[in-house]
Structure 1
């Protein structure tokens, strides 16, 4: 008897310990309440609907058991599904229940069921799930739901799908509100799809919305022009809007200011600032940030005056502005002022982040102050900022600048041990440093390792190697690397070709150097002045007077002038050769010079 009681007790405990056993017990109890006397539960009973919602929300594999729990209930009743949607607060669970009904219970969704679920999914931001409903035959969402769907797609970056919905709405003669068009335009801008901005605008015009276009729409069009580096067009549109009595918000002015700073059209920047003040659009911290960033990137000391003016006007520069200023001052060689701003920032309670530290570390490496650079690096790590490929690349570059390539290589080898992936930038920094320190063999080894790692080399992987090969007299290997770069569809920077021309001249191969120069000009690349001069010296040594006249003509057409010593050398050479026709040509060239 005791054994029997113990056995029953253990069985009961085992039952309770099983996963979800208590939930099963409750479900069984409620199941008996709903199915007593073999009666079918009422589809409109709120308690029953809530119970089904609870089961689908808490039971992990309810699809396998729900029909057996309620064998007499007709789950295919459309009115029950609508009640379920009203009580279930989870959009994706509702979609899961919908698919189960269709696949297991013979549920044929009607328009109202699909539309209700579609609206719930769109409101929840589940636009991909909502899109799957559009595949159901015969289902066409209501126009209001489609407008919300466009907004959902736009905010999720699915801008091509949003455009297709506009097209479908246009077919049925429905025109979305301006607010919906604006959300789609904003989505295209965020996704970097300015091409779709103009496509949408065309549809707006065709739909007759243009007459109701608001200042926000125009703002997005101006931003699209600026994103395409067509700032002048954006400016023209702004003037048109202002003439019509409308005024965009600060973000539009800021984008234009940033674009004109990039193009160094500072008169336009000043004009825009005055326009903002006239129109009661007070320039904000982001306005000044655009101006300072544009000036400092181009090493324009006017940026420091704007920064001081910013503080004088009562604005409080943030970490981004301070970092921009420090980076720009280091680039201009104004190291003392950069350090002063660093301490000023900290004194004001603005703590530097990883990027600010990296700017300071790189700046100190530039001036050869490795002691301070290492100190800042250690301080950065001590503040909890993780060592990254960026921070390692900066230290490696700095060590190479100071000629400490062995230490740079040790850091490079240390990266995998700390779980830091060596990216293309890291390889490029070290390749450049090794080439600049005449360690070509090690640099080539690193380049081959880069390829073996499956990384795609960039122009900055090739250029240091090409330059070093030209300097050591192996220009043909430099040309082979140039061709390899070209075959990879990489566009060489202008100086790469300059190095090859100078290298060929050093080897006494002026004919091939002349050919490279002509190619450069045909590719719309401007050779350096010293490249022309070096080629002229090489041609002088080989007494190629006709070729000299051609190069001279090209040099002056490019906008360069001959220096006095080279002019004397040429006049002397032509006089000695008694080359009268060439003398006449030289005289004309020198007149233009």
Structure 2
């Protein structure tokens, strides 16, 4: 049977040279019950009275810890005894290790002492202390407690700059305490639990190098963590080691590796690995087929996906909800929403209850194809089945209606859903209001906004700004002014965009004095005007032939805000030149030059036109009556 060279290289990777050949062992290791391997002995301590000798602390502490009837009383008595002897300050990491080793046969007392020293006394325990208690708990089959201590040790290691080598310390402690090699499996799992994927992989390498054989469950956890981090190459390395040491993978192992192959995107590798699974005696299950079908759907190879769907039935594997959801989503995105609907109905007829993901996939497909009636009908069916639409549902429906230029229908749907108590996301309200304003339907947007006044929806100032701008743009100036007054009464300060929209509309309506009053409110709010406001006001007064007010505003903007706009200057200059009063023109030009305005070519043209007008006026005045 043909093999893909790429996958073949992966499967053989490190089978020959990943690690040297070793004798593998999973046997529980026992050492004599002794505390001599870890000692804090200091010859000078022997000069002290026996009751104050720190070397005797183990013999003082151990009997107290055996008072199991009342652990709280025992710890209080222990604390008092050490204080009375004046040696509590000598309770350091080496002493703690010796005490723990003396309690190997009593893991509850060992753990009680460990937590008391760490939490109640606030002592900074060493990595060795942690590893000894972990060994004691694992030896005694107290795996959940051991995992908690191990996770705490790893967390402490992450919080410091120089991370300790937990594996090395665990291995060192095996010289002095009873231990079970499963502790290294637990270290891999704890590292994965803490998100330390690379560290867990390093532990695996060290384990195999020393001859320890991890369980298949542990390896599957490691493979899963590596695959989620897109470390596909390391997954194949681990698989190669499994083959070399004779550790047989299970269906879960192959499914994880199949997921890695699918992520790589090479279809030939997928087929080759599927054949590899079958040769190893594993029949692909529904999880395997779901991964394969999902891989084909993501690549829009829908014919291959549906082929596998039919193969599942032939092999006696019944497609589940995930299978149908993947296919429905794939065909919906691929443009064949009718076949996606057919699959949906087949799923329902076979007794499977669609979930929100299945409904959303088909609704999205209907919306994409403009089949809004079908989408809305499916929405009602979903609600009737007791499934509440989520944010994805709302967004797909609104966007679908907008593509069909039926935004009002989207608005009606949202109002309907809101009436039935379904929580509509605030950003969707924002989207609809802005979209209505862009379509020059500010009253529809205003109606929606006012209808939401009693709800929890709190629009941002930008939404009001967009609505007021739209009202002004559509020549509903009075309504815009009422809305601005409403904002002010609610202690909301209009932004620059609102001021610009209102001032521009007022000037276009030849209400320049009102616009100037509005400019005063702008100053009171602390918002600085820009060039556009300057042009609107100056040009408005120029259209009203109010030269004095235009001239005053031009000077005001220049001196107050540093706005020296040549467009405004030329417009005022043009109006003045048209009067033919050359002395007044020269006076204006001189005063503007002092502020910082400089005439340009257009200014010269206006001057020439003004001189011609003045000459024409003068000739008319010289003609006899």
Q: TM-score w.r.t. structure 1 length?
A: 0.53
Alpha-carbon distance, 1:293 to partner: 0.3
Give SS of 2:66's match: coil
Paired residues of 1:78 and 1:110 also in contact (CA < 8 A): no
Aligned match of 1:205: 240
- Measure the CA separation in 2 of the matches of 1:346 and 1:325: 14
Please report how far the alpha carbon of residue 101 of structure 1 lies from its aligned counterpart in structure 2 after TM superposition: 6.8
Distance 1:277-1:95 versus aligned 2 partners, 3 A rule: farther
- Alignment CA distance shift 1:123-1:409 (3 Å): farther
Equivalent of 1:219, from 248, 255, 261? Answer: 255
Q: Tell me the secondary structure at the aligned position of residue 46 of structure 1.
A: coil
Q: Is the 8 A contact 1:221 1:234 kept in 2?
A: no
| Alignment match, 2:266 | 230
d(CA) in 1 for partners of 2:461 and 2:268? 41
* Alpha-carbon spacing, 1:371–1:249, altered in 2? closer, same or farther (3 Å): same
Distance in 2 between residues matched to 1:324 and 1:389, nearest whole Å: 23
The 8 Å contact of residues 366 and 401 in structure 1, kept in 2 or not, is answered as: no
Counterpart for residue 97 of structure 1: 117
Structure 1: any 5+ residue segments left out of the alignment? 1-37, 56-64, 438-444, 447-593
What is the aligned partner in structure 2 of residue 124 from structure 1? 148
Choose the corresponding residue for 1:71, options 71, 83, 96: 83
Q: CA separation in 2, counterparts of 1:182 and 1:107?
A: 28
Distance of aligned partners of 1:126 and 1:78 in 2 relative to their CA distance in 1, 3 Å threshold: closer
Q: Which runs of 5+ in 2 are unaligned?
A: 1-59, 158-163, 174-179, 474-496, 499-625
Secondary structure of the residue that 1:188 maps to in structure 2?
helix
- Aligned position for 1:523: none
Q: 2:301 aligns with which of 258, 265, 270?
A: 265
Give the CA deviation at 1:300: 1.4
Q: Is residue 100 of structure 2 the alignment partner of residue 86 of structure 1?
A: no
Maintained 8 Å contact 1:42/1:48: no
Q: Structure 1 379/322 Cα, relative in aligned 2: closer, same or farther at 3 Å?
A: same
Flag the 1:393–1:120 CA change in 2: closer, same or farther, 3 A: same
Q: Against the structure 1 CA distance between its residues 115 and 299, is the aligned structure 2 distance closer, same or farther, given a 3 Å change threshold?
A: same
CA, structure 1 residues 83+242, in 2 after alignment: closer, same or farther (shift >3 Å)?
A: closer
Q: CA deviation at 1:169?
A: 0.9
The structure whose RCO (Cα within 8 Å, separation 6+) is larger is 2
Query: Which one of the candidate residues 309, 317, 323 is aligned to 1:287?
Result: 323
Aligned to 2:196: 158
User: Does the aligned pair in 2 maintain the 1:365–1:399 contact within 8 Å?
Assistant: no
Q: Distance in 1 between matches of 2:79 and 2:319?
A: 65
Residue 183 (structure 1) aligns with:
221
Matched length = 379
Measure how far apart 1:106 and its partner are: 11
CA 1:380–1:179 in structure 2 vs 1: closer, same or farther (change >3 Å)? Answer: same
Once the 2 structures are TM-superposed, how far is the Cα of residue 392 of structure 1 from its aligned partner? Answer: 4.1
1:146 aligned partner: 184
Paired position in structure 2 for 1:44: 66
| Structure 1 Cα separation of the partners of residues 264 and 389 of structure 2 | 33
Give the 3 Å change call, closer, same or farther, for CA 408–188 of structure 1 in structure 2.
Answer: farther
Structure 2 CA distance, aligned partners of 1:168 and 1:47? 43
* In structure 2, C-alpha distance between the alignment counterparts of 1:343 and 1:106, rounded to whole Å: 62
Per-residue displacement from partner, 1:469-492 (whole Å, max 9, x unpaired)?
A: xxxxxxxxxxxxxxxxxxxxxxxx
Query: Which of 225, 246, 254 lines up with 2:282 in the alignment?
Result: 246
- 1:376 to 1:221, Cα distance in 2 relative to 1, 3 A: same
CA distance in 1, matches of 2:421, 2:81: 56
Distance 1:122 1:420, change over 3 A: farther
Query: In 2, Cα distance between the equivalents of 1:161 and 1:112?
Result: 21
2:369 is matched with: 332
Change in Cα spacing, 1:84 to 1:331, as seen in structure 2 (3 Å) is: same
User: Does residue 1:318 correspond to 2:318, yes or no?
Assistant: no
For 1:393 and 1:381, the matched residues in 2 are separated by 15
SS class of match (1:264): coil
**Contact 2:104–2:110, Cα closer than 8 Å, also in 1:** no
Aligned partners of 1:155 and 1:183 also within 8 Å: no
In structure 2, relative to structure 1, the CA distance for the partners of 1:380 and 1:111 (3 Å cut) is same
Deviation at 1:181, TM superposition (A): 0.8
Contact 1:296 1:325 in 2 (8 A): yes
C-alpha distance in 2, partners of 1:174/1:422? 65
Aligned pairs for 1:106-121 within 5 A: 109=129, 112-113=132-133, 115-116=135-136
1:304 is aligned, of 337, 341, 344, to 341
Q: Decide which structure has the larger Cα Rg and report it.
A: 2
- CA offset at residue 289 of structure 1? 0.5
CA RMSD after TM alignment: 4.7
Q: Can you list the C-alpha shifts for 1:375-405, whole angstroms capped at 9, x where unaligned?
A: 4434555666655464246425743674558
Counterparts of 2:125 and 2:288 in 1: how far apart (Å)? 55
Matched, 1:352 2:402: no
Q: Distance in 2 between matches of 1:39 and 1:284?
A: 60
Aligned to 2:30: none
Deviations 1:309-363 (A, max 9, x none): 2233333222221221111101101112112212222233333234323333333
Q: Is the 8 A contact 2:226 2:234 kept in 1?
A: no
Tell me the TM-score normalized by structure 2. 0.50
Between the aligned partners of 2:137 and 2:121, the Cα distance in structure 1 is 13
Q: Are 2:377 and 1:377 aligned? A: no
8 A contact 2:356–2:387 mirrored in 1: yes
CA deviations 1:135-163 (Å, max 9, x no partner) are 57854265211102212333443211210
Quote the Cα distance in structure 1 between the aligned partners of 2:190 and 2:310: 38
**C-alpha distance in 2, partners of 1:294/1:322?**
13
Q: Confirm or deny: 8 A CA contact 1:319 1:350 kept in the other structure.
A: yes
Residue equivalent to 1:172: 210
Contact 1:388/1:420 (8 A) holds in 2: no
